[in-house]
Amino acid sequence: MKLTERIDVTVGVTGMNATDNPAPGVPVARALRHEPAFVGKIIGLGYDALDPGFYAERLLDGGAMLPYPSAGREALRERLQWVRAEMGVDVLVPTLDSELRALVALTADLERMNIRTFLPTLESIERAGKVQLPRLAETGAIAIPPSEAIQSADAIPRLMARFGQTLVVKGVYYGAAVTHNEPDAVAAFHKFAAQWGLPVIVQKFVRGEEYNVAALGDGHGNMAGAVAMRKMMITDKGKGWCGVAIQNPELLSLAEALIGELRWRGPLEVEILKDSHSGEYYVIEINPRFPAWIYLSAGAGLNLPYYAVRLALGLPLPSTMPGYRAGTLFVRISVDQIADLSTFEQLSSLGLIRPTARVAL
Protein backbone atom coordinates (compact mmCIF):
# COMPACT_ATOMS: atom_id res chain seq x y z
CA MET A 1 0.00 0.00 0.00
CA LYS A 2 1.36 3.36 -1.04
CA LEU A 3 0.22 6.37 0.99
CA THR A 4 -0.82 9.34 -1.11
CA GLU A 5 -3.00 11.50 1.16
CA ARG A 6 -1.60 14.76 2.48
CA ILE A 7 -1.42 15.43 6.21
CA ASP A 8 -2.66 18.92 7.10
CA VAL A 9 -2.46 19.23 10.89
CA THR A 10 -0.61 21.42 13.39
CA VAL A 11 2.23 19.61 15.16
CA GLY A 12 3.86 20.87 18.35
CA VAL A 13 7.50 19.83 18.70
CA THR A 14 9.44 20.37 21.93
CA GLY A 15 13.20 20.77 22.34
CA MET A 16 14.18 23.91 20.40
CA ASN A 17 17.65 24.06 21.92
CA ALA A 18 20.26 23.59 19.19
CA THR A 19 23.66 24.33 20.69
CA ASP A 20 26.72 22.03 20.59
CA ASN A 21 24.63 19.61 22.69
CA PRO A 22 21.48 19.83 20.56
CA ALA A 23 18.00 18.67 21.48
CA PRO A 24 16.09 16.62 18.88
CA GLY A 25 13.33 19.20 18.28
CA VAL A 26 14.88 21.07 15.37
CA PRO A 27 15.76 17.90 13.41
CA VAL A 28 12.27 16.47 14.06
CA ALA A 29 10.76 19.68 12.65
CA ARG A 30 13.15 19.56 9.68
CA ALA A 31 12.14 15.95 9.00
CA LEU A 32 8.47 16.96 8.88
CA ARG A 33 9.28 19.86 6.53
CA HIS A 34 11.22 17.39 4.36
CA GLU A 35 8.15 15.20 3.80
CA PRO A 36 6.10 16.23 0.73
CA ALA A 37 2.95 14.64 2.21
CA PHE A 38 3.12 16.88 5.28
CA VAL A 39 1.47 20.21 4.47
CA GLY A 40 0.55 21.28 8.00
CA LYS A 41 2.02 23.73 10.49
CA ILE A 42 4.81 23.20 13.03
CA ILE A 43 4.83 24.95 16.39
CA GLY A 44 8.13 24.99 18.26
CA LEU A 45 7.91 24.53 22.04
CA GLY A 46 10.91 25.50 24.14
CA TYR A 47 12.11 26.54 27.57
CA ASP A 48 14.22 29.59 26.77
CA ALA A 49 13.43 32.58 24.56
CA LEU A 50 16.91 32.23 23.04
CA ASP A 51 16.54 28.57 22.06
CA PRO A 52 18.07 28.66 18.57
CA GLY A 53 15.29 26.62 16.97
CA PHE A 54 12.89 29.53 17.38
CA TYR A 55 15.07 31.53 14.98
CA ALA A 56 15.69 28.90 12.28
CA GLU A 57 14.71 30.28 8.90
CA ARG A 58 11.47 28.91 7.42
CA LEU A 59 11.29 26.08 9.95
CA LEU A 60 8.38 27.02 12.25
CA ASP A 61 4.97 28.54 11.84
CA GLY A 62 4.82 29.70 15.47
CA GLY A 63 6.40 29.13 18.84
CA ALA A 64 5.56 29.01 22.53
CA MET A 65 7.33 28.76 25.85
CA LEU A 66 6.78 25.85 28.23
CA PRO A 67 7.30 25.90 32.01
CA TYR A 68 10.40 24.09 33.20
CA PRO A 69 9.70 20.51 34.36
CA SER A 70 10.42 21.60 37.95
CA ALA A 71 7.24 23.71 37.82
CA GLY A 72 5.21 20.52 38.02
CA ARG A 73 2.68 18.59 36.01
CA GLU A 74 -0.25 20.94 36.57
CA ALA A 75 1.69 23.93 35.24
CA LEU A 76 2.54 21.92 32.12
CA ARG A 77 -1.09 20.85 31.66
CA GLU A 78 -2.33 24.43 31.92
CA ARG A 79 0.28 25.70 29.47
CA LEU A 80 -0.49 23.02 26.91
CA GLN A 81 -4.19 23.81 27.19
CA TRP A 82 -3.31 27.46 26.52
CA VAL A 83 -1.09 26.49 23.58
CA ARG A 84 -3.91 24.38 22.15
CA ALA A 85 -6.32 27.31 22.44
CA GLU A 86 -3.87 29.80 20.90
CA MET A 87 -2.22 27.62 18.26
CA GLY A 88 -4.65 24.78 17.51
CA VAL A 89 -2.02 22.07 18.12
CA ASP A 90 -3.35 18.68 16.95
CA VAL A 91 -0.32 16.46 17.60
CA LEU A 92 2.44 16.78 20.21
CA VAL A 93 5.89 15.26 19.63
CA PRO A 94 8.02 15.58 22.79
CA THR A 95 11.76 15.15 22.28
CA LEU A 96 13.27 15.51 25.78
CA ASP A 97 13.68 12.77 28.41
CA SER A 98 12.99 15.22 31.24
CA GLU A 99 9.45 16.03 30.05
CA LEU A 100 8.33 12.58 28.95
CA ARG A 101 7.07 11.11 32.21
CA ALA A 102 4.88 14.13 32.92
CA LEU A 103 3.41 14.03 29.42
CA VAL A 104 2.67 10.31 29.63
CA ALA A 105 0.90 10.94 32.93
CA LEU A 106 -1.12 13.70 31.23
CA THR A 107 -2.20 11.51 28.30
CA ALA A 108 -5.89 11.50 29.30
CA ASP A 109 -5.84 15.30 29.74
CA LEU A 110 -4.22 15.74 26.34
CA GLU A 111 -6.85 13.53 24.73
CA ARG A 112 -9.59 15.69 26.24
CA MET A 113 -7.84 18.71 24.69
CA ASN A 114 -7.79 16.88 21.32
CA ILE A 115 -3.99 16.78 21.36
CA ARG A 116 -2.78 13.45 19.97
CA THR A 117 0.43 11.76 21.08
CA PHE A 118 2.14 8.44 20.43
CA LEU A 119 4.14 7.73 23.58
CA PRO A 120 5.41 4.72 25.53
CA THR A 121 3.89 3.62 28.81
CA LEU A 122 5.47 4.66 32.10
CA GLU A 123 6.35 1.01 32.72
CA SER A 124 8.25 0.80 29.44
CA ILE A 125 10.09 4.06 30.16
CA GLU A 126 11.16 2.83 33.59
CA ARG A 127 12.33 -0.53 32.25
CA ALA A 128 14.41 1.22 29.57
CA GLY A 129 16.00 3.70 31.99
CA LYS A 130 19.70 3.65 32.78
CA VAL A 131 19.10 2.40 36.31
CA GLN A 132 17.04 -0.58 35.12
CA LEU A 133 19.25 -1.66 32.20
CA PRO A 134 20.91 -4.49 34.22
CA ARG A 135 17.47 -6.02 34.88
CA LEU A 136 16.58 -5.70 31.22
CA ALA A 137 19.82 -7.48 30.34
CA GLU A 138 18.77 -10.37 32.58
CA THR A 139 15.89 -11.10 30.17
CA GLY A 140 18.46 -11.97 27.50
CA ALA A 141 17.18 -9.29 25.10
CA ILE A 142 20.42 -7.31 25.34
CA ALA A 143 23.94 -7.36 26.75
CA ILE A 144 25.31 -4.37 28.64
CA PRO A 145 28.71 -3.48 30.10
CA PRO A 146 28.91 -4.16 33.84
CA SER A 147 27.37 -1.18 35.64
CA GLU A 148 25.92 -0.07 38.95
CA ALA A 149 23.69 2.80 40.10
CA ILE A 150 25.15 4.50 43.17
CA GLN A 151 23.88 7.00 45.73
CA SER A 152 27.25 8.15 47.06
CA ALA A 153 30.73 8.86 45.66
CA ASP A 154 32.07 6.63 48.44
CA ALA A 155 31.25 3.65 46.20
CA ILE A 156 33.67 4.74 43.47
CA PRO A 157 36.87 3.11 44.87
CA ARG A 158 35.01 -0.20 45.16
CA LEU A 159 33.78 0.07 41.57
CA MET A 160 37.25 0.97 40.30
CA ALA A 161 38.54 -2.21 41.90
CA ARG A 162 35.73 -4.13 40.18
CA PHE A 163 35.54 -2.45 36.75
CA GLY A 164 39.06 -1.07 36.33
CA GLN A 165 40.70 2.35 36.57
CA THR A 166 38.80 3.85 33.63
CA LEU A 167 35.06 4.32 34.23
CA VAL A 168 32.07 5.84 32.48
CA VAL A 169 30.03 8.00 34.86
CA LYS A 170 26.48 8.90 33.75
CA GLY A 171 23.70 11.17 34.90
CA VAL A 172 20.32 9.54 35.43
CA TYR A 173 18.79 11.54 32.54
CA TYR A 174 21.65 13.09 30.53
CA GLY A 175 25.40 13.27 30.41
CA ALA A 176 28.30 10.85 30.44
CA ALA A 177 31.99 11.27 31.25
CA VAL A 178 34.89 8.89 30.75
CA THR A 179 37.16 9.21 33.79
CA HIS A 180 40.64 7.79 34.28
CA ASN A 181 41.23 8.24 38.01
CA GLU A 182 39.32 8.48 41.28
CA PRO A 183 39.31 12.31 41.63
CA ASP A 184 37.85 12.72 38.13
CA ALA A 185 35.23 10.03 38.77
CA VAL A 186 34.21 11.69 42.05
CA ALA A 187 33.99 15.09 40.34
CA ALA A 188 31.80 13.61 37.58
CA PHE A 189 29.56 11.99 40.20
CA HIS A 190 28.96 15.31 41.97
CA LYS A 191 28.41 17.13 38.67
CA PHE A 192 25.69 14.75 37.47
CA ALA A 193 24.12 14.42 40.91
CA ALA A 194 23.78 18.21 41.08
CA GLN A 195 22.37 18.43 37.55
CA TRP A 196 19.96 15.50 37.49
CA GLY A 197 19.78 14.04 40.99
CA LEU A 198 20.51 10.54 42.24
CA PRO A 199 21.34 7.84 41.46
CA VAL A 200 24.42 8.24 39.28
CA ILE A 201 25.36 5.30 37.07
CA VAL A 202 28.92 4.00 36.96
CA GLN A 203 29.81 1.67 34.10
CA LYS A 204 32.85 -0.31 33.04
CA PHE A 205 34.62 1.36 30.12
CA VAL A 206 34.55 -0.75 26.96
CA ARG A 207 36.69 0.31 24.04
CA GLY A 208 34.99 -0.03 20.69
CA GLU A 209 33.04 1.51 17.85
CA GLU A 210 29.80 3.41 18.54
CA TYR A 211 26.56 2.84 16.70
CA ASN A 212 23.05 4.19 17.11
CA VAL A 213 19.64 2.96 15.98
CA ALA A 214 16.64 5.28 15.75
CA ALA A 215 13.43 3.28 15.74
CA LEU A 216 9.67 3.49 16.02
CA GLY A 217 7.59 0.94 17.94
CA ASP A 218 3.90 0.36 17.27
CA GLY A 219 3.00 -0.41 20.90
CA HIS A 220 2.18 -4.05 20.17
CA GLY A 221 5.73 -5.36 20.19
CA ASN A 222 6.46 -4.63 16.53
CA MET A 223 9.13 -2.33 15.08
CA ALA A 224 7.47 -0.03 12.56
CA GLY A 225 10.80 1.16 11.16
CA ALA A 226 14.43 1.80 12.09
CA VAL A 227 17.60 3.41 10.78
CA ALA A 228 21.09 2.40 11.92
CA MET A 229 23.95 4.89 12.02
CA ARG A 230 27.69 4.70 12.69
CA LYS A 231 29.30 7.68 14.38
CA MET A 232 32.22 9.10 12.42
CA MET A 233 33.02 12.19 14.50
CA ILE A 234 32.31 12.80 18.19
CA THR A 235 32.47 16.09 20.11
CA ASP A 236 34.13 16.59 23.48
CA LYS A 237 30.64 16.12 24.98
CA GLY A 238 30.41 12.69 23.38
CA LYS A 239 27.82 13.79 20.81
CA GLY A 240 27.90 12.57 17.25
CA TRP A 241 28.82 15.45 14.94
CA CYS A 242 29.01 13.30 11.83
CA GLY A 243 27.55 9.90 11.06
CA VAL A 244 26.59 7.61 8.21
CA ALA A 245 23.53 5.42 7.70
CA ILE A 246 24.54 1.76 7.51
CA GLN A 247 22.84 -1.56 6.84
CA ASN A 248 23.63 -3.86 9.75
CA PRO A 249 21.12 -6.66 10.43
CA GLU A 250 22.55 -7.31 13.92
CA LEU A 251 21.92 -3.72 15.03
CA LEU A 252 18.39 -3.69 13.61
CA SER A 253 17.61 -7.09 15.15
CA LEU A 254 18.81 -5.83 18.52
CA ALA A 255 16.51 -2.81 18.32
CA GLU A 256 13.63 -5.06 17.21
CA ALA A 257 14.20 -7.41 20.16
CA LEU A 258 14.15 -4.48 22.58
CA ILE A 259 10.93 -3.11 21.12
CA GLY A 260 9.37 -6.55 21.42
CA GLU A 261 10.51 -7.04 25.01
CA LEU A 262 9.33 -3.58 26.07
CA ARG A 263 6.25 -3.48 23.79
CA TRP A 264 7.51 -0.01 22.99
CA ARG A 265 5.11 2.59 21.66
CA GLY A 266 6.62 5.55 19.84
CA PRO A 267 10.16 6.76 19.11
CA LEU A 268 13.34 5.55 20.75
CA GLU A 269 17.08 5.48 20.22
CA VAL A 270 19.38 2.59 21.10
CA GLU A 271 23.05 3.45 21.68
CA ILE A 272 25.30 0.48 20.99
CA LEU A 273 29.01 -0.24 21.38
CA LYS A 274 30.84 -2.99 19.51
CA ASP A 275 33.68 -4.29 21.67
CA SER A 276 36.89 -3.94 19.67
CA HIS A 277 38.31 -7.10 21.26
CA SER A 278 35.40 -9.55 21.44
CA GLY A 279 33.18 -8.13 18.70
CA GLU A 280 30.22 -8.31 21.05
CA TYR A 281 27.50 -5.67 20.82
CA TYR A 282 26.66 -3.90 24.09
CA VAL A 283 23.68 -1.64 24.64
CA ILE A 284 24.99 1.34 26.57
CA GLU A 285 21.82 3.43 26.63
CA ILE A 286 18.17 3.51 25.53
CA ASN A 287 16.70 6.96 24.97
CA PRO A 288 12.87 7.16 25.01
CA ARG A 289 12.59 9.65 22.13
CA PHE A 290 14.04 10.50 18.75
CA PRO A 291 17.77 11.35 18.73
CA ALA A 292 19.27 14.67 17.66
CA TRP A 293 20.48 13.03 14.42
CA ILE A 294 16.96 11.93 13.38
CA TYR A 295 16.92 14.18 10.30
CA LEU A 296 19.26 11.57 8.80
CA SER A 297 16.28 9.18 8.66
CA ALA A 298 14.41 11.62 6.39
CA GLY A 299 17.49 12.26 4.27
CA ALA A 300 18.07 8.53 3.88
CA GLY A 301 14.48 7.89 2.77
CA LEU A 302 12.74 6.53 5.89
CA ASN A 303 11.15 9.56 7.56
CA LEU A 304 10.51 8.26 11.08
CA PRO A 305 9.13 11.55 12.55
CA TYR A 306 6.54 11.71 9.78
CA TYR A 307 5.45 8.13 10.47
CA ALA A 308 5.26 8.90 14.19
CA VAL A 309 2.79 11.71 13.40
CA ARG A 310 0.74 9.30 11.29
CA LEU A 311 0.59 6.84 14.18
CA ALA A 312 -0.44 9.60 16.59
CA LEU A 313 -3.32 10.47 14.24
CA GLY A 314 -4.38 6.82 14.01
CA LEU A 315 -3.51 6.66 10.31
CA PRO A 316 -2.09 3.49 8.73
CA LEU A 317 1.52 3.00 7.79
CA PRO A 318 2.53 1.50 4.44
CA SER A 319 2.03 -2.26 4.35
CA THR A 320 5.70 -2.41 3.37
CA MET A 321 7.79 0.36 4.89
CA PRO A 322 10.35 1.96 2.58
CA GLY A 323 13.97 1.07 3.01
CA TYR A 324 16.70 3.61 3.66
CA ARG A 325 19.85 4.42 1.73
CA ALA A 326 23.01 3.18 3.38
CA GLY A 327 25.89 5.57 2.83
CA THR A 328 23.79 8.67 3.48
CA LEU A 329 25.90 11.01 5.61
CA PHE A 330 25.02 13.75 8.07
CA VAL A 331 27.51 16.43 9.10
CA ARG A 332 26.50 19.17 11.54
CA ILE A 333 27.54 22.76 10.96
CA SER A 334 27.44 25.92 13.06
CA VAL A 335 25.72 28.89 11.41
CA ASP A 336 24.73 32.34 12.60
CA GLN A 337 20.99 32.89 12.34
CA ILE A 338 19.80 36.38 11.46
CA ALA A 339 16.49 37.29 13.09
CA ASP A 340 14.45 40.25 14.26
CA LEU A 341 14.57 41.26 17.92
CA SER A 342 10.76 41.17 17.94
CA THR A 343 10.87 37.36 18.01
CA PHE A 344 12.80 37.40 21.28
CA GLU A 345 10.57 40.15 22.68
CA GLN A 346 7.37 38.24 21.91
CA LEU A 347 8.66 35.02 23.43
CA SER A 348 9.95 36.83 26.51
CA SER A 349 6.87 38.97 27.15
CA LEU A 350 3.94 37.02 25.67
CA GLY A 351 5.38 33.51 25.79
CA LEU A 352 4.42 32.78 22.19
CA ILE A 353 4.58 33.68 18.54
CA ARG A 354 1.23 33.07 16.89
CA PRO A 355 0.98 30.91 13.76
CA THR A 356 1.41 32.88 10.56
CA ALA A 357 2.30 32.21 7.00
CA ARG A 358 5.66 30.51 7.16
CA VAL A 359 8.40 33.05 7.77
CA ALA A 360 11.83 33.18 9.31
CA LEU A 361 11.02 33.35 12.99
* Domain extent listing, the chain: 10-117+334-353, 124-128+207-331, 146-204
The whole-number pLDDT of residue 3 equals 62
CA 59 – CA 82 distance, rounded (Å): 22
pLDDT means per 10 residues, the chain with 361 residues, are: 78 94 96 97 96 94 94 96 95 96 96 97 94 87 90 96 94 88 96 93 93 96 97 82 96 95 97 93 95 98 98 94 97 90 92 64 40
Whole-prediction pTM value? 0.91
Domain 146-204 in this protein, CATH class? alpha beta
**Which phi and psi (to 5°) does residue 245 adopt?**
-70, 135
Which of 118, 12, 124, 7 shows the shortest CA–CA distance to 62? 12
The whole-number pLDDT of residue 2 equals 53
**Which CATH architecture best describes the domain 124-128+207-331?**
2-Layer Sandwich (3.30)
The whole-number pLDDT of residue 356 equals 58
CA 72 – CA 105 distance, rounded (Å): 12
Query: Looking at domain 10-117+334-353, which of 3.30.1360.40, 3.40.50.20, 1.10.287.110, 3.10.180.10 is its CATH number?
Result: 3.40.50.20
- Please report, for residues 24, 81, 126, 147, 203, the alpha-carbon distance to residue 77 in angstroms, rounded to integers and kept in the order given: 22, 6, 22, 36, 36
Q: 175: buried, middle or exposed (CB in 10 Å: 19+, 13-18, 0-12)?
A: middle
